[in-house]
Amino acid sequence: MTISDSTSAKPSDPIDIGRVTLMLGELKLPAIKAVWQEIAARADKEGWPAARFLAALAEHEIAERTRRRFERHLDEARLPPGKTLATFDFTAVPMVSKAQVMALAAGDSWLEKGANLILFGPPGGGKSHLSAALGLALIENGWRVLFTRTTDLVQKLQIARSELQLESALAKLDKYHLLILDDFAYVTKDQAETSVLFELIGARYERRSILITANQPFGEWGKIFPDQAMTLAAVDRLVHHATILEMNVESYRRRAAIERRQGPGRPPSRATTKNSS
Ligand code: ADP
Ligand code: MG
């Protein structure tokens, strides 16, 4: 059967608009279903060739799908709102290269092989902002991300373990190319909390990426986590394929407050507590 056999339509045949709309719904083309009449009217008015009309519809459906996927991924990521790379002041952290961060925001070089990113630095230095901003950029580039405070995820995993569901809970996190664990070394953790965290690291090792922010350098982790051997093993896996960014700067908020007090005239990046006292 040739294509012309399968449709006996003649140009003069009447078109059942309701039926076309029904068929588009059945074909699961909701975006085309919503706009086809409007685009058809325009095509008729402007005398578009049939192929141009079809291309416009297909492009519209694809654009809508991309937008919906982005919104779904943004929703599930639970990013803190308002933190973007555009609003991140790179001059405040001269030791972090903007070019390197922009390369990380593309994702391919590290997320494809399950490599990690670790941001160290004192409170207020922009670790959460930068990691959320990176998360957003990665979602825009089609990756799936989950941002969570480490304590919140630990609580969830512990509940899962008590219900003998830890393995499936860890497996469910596999759908995220990147897991952002904010404040990894913040609270003192007991043995049970530590072990779910380290099982998570083991489960994702060399497969799925983790981004960790921490106020304490590795050297202090032995004091934070109760089990030395377990901590060493986890650190080993984390850093095996990792980029480490040290953000040893003074609190951004504090500096901003000092700059406000000093008024205009001073280059902002110079105004530290030291020269203000
Ligand atoms: P950390 O997680 O390291 O404790 P945050 O990322 O929470 O620090 O930063 C504290 C506040 O200062 C946030 O509101 C953040 O948006 C802002 N901030 C920190 N560093 C920068 C920066 N370099 N550019 C813009 N805003 C920043
Ligand atoms: Mg933080």
Determine the distance separating the centroid of ligand 1 and the alpha carbon of 211, expressed in angstroms: 16
Q: Give the pLDDT score at 275.
A: 39
Q: Is 124 in the pocket of ligand 1 (CB under 6 A)?
A: yes
- Nearest Cα residue to atom 25 of ligand 1: 88
CA distances to 93, 99, 210 from 237, rounded to whole Å, are 27, 26, 11
CATH 3.40.50.300 in the chain is located at 80-275
- Where residue 173 falls (left for φ over 0; alpha for ψ -120 to 50; beta otherwise) is alpha
- Which stretches of the chain drop beneath a pLDDT of 70? 1-7, 186-189, 263-277
Q: Is 127 in the pocket of ligand 1 (CB under 6 A)?
A: yes
- Nearest ligand 1 atom to the CA of 130 is 6
216, 210 contact by CB (below 8 A): no
Q: Which CATH architecture has domain 80-275?
A: 3-Layer(aba) Sandwich (3.40)
Determine the distance separating the centroid of ligand 2 and the alpha carbon of 123, expressed in angstroms: 6
Determine the distance separating the centroid of ligand 2 and the alpha carbon of 120, expressed in angstroms: 10
Determine the distance separating the centroid of ligand 2 and the alpha carbon of 252, expressed in angstroms: 12
Q: What is the pLDDT of residues 188-222, one digit of tens each?
A: 668 888 889 999 999 999 999 999 999 988 888 88
Query: Cβ atoms within 10 A of the Cβ of 242, count?
Result: 17
Q: Is 114 in the pocket of ligand 1 (CB under 6 A)?
A: no
Q: Give the pLDDT score at 4.
A: 54
Q: Is 252 in the pocket of ligand 1 (CB under 6 A)?
A: yes
- Nearest ligand 1 atom to the CA of 88 is 24
Q: Is 93 in the pocket of ligand 1 (CB under 6 A)?
A: yes
pTM to 2 decimal places? 0.85
Q: Give the pLDDT score at 161.
A: 95
The 3 state secondary structure assigned to 162-188 is HCCCHHHHHHHHHHCCEEEEECCCCCC
Give 94's DSSP letter: T
Q: Give the pLDDT score at 82.
A: 95
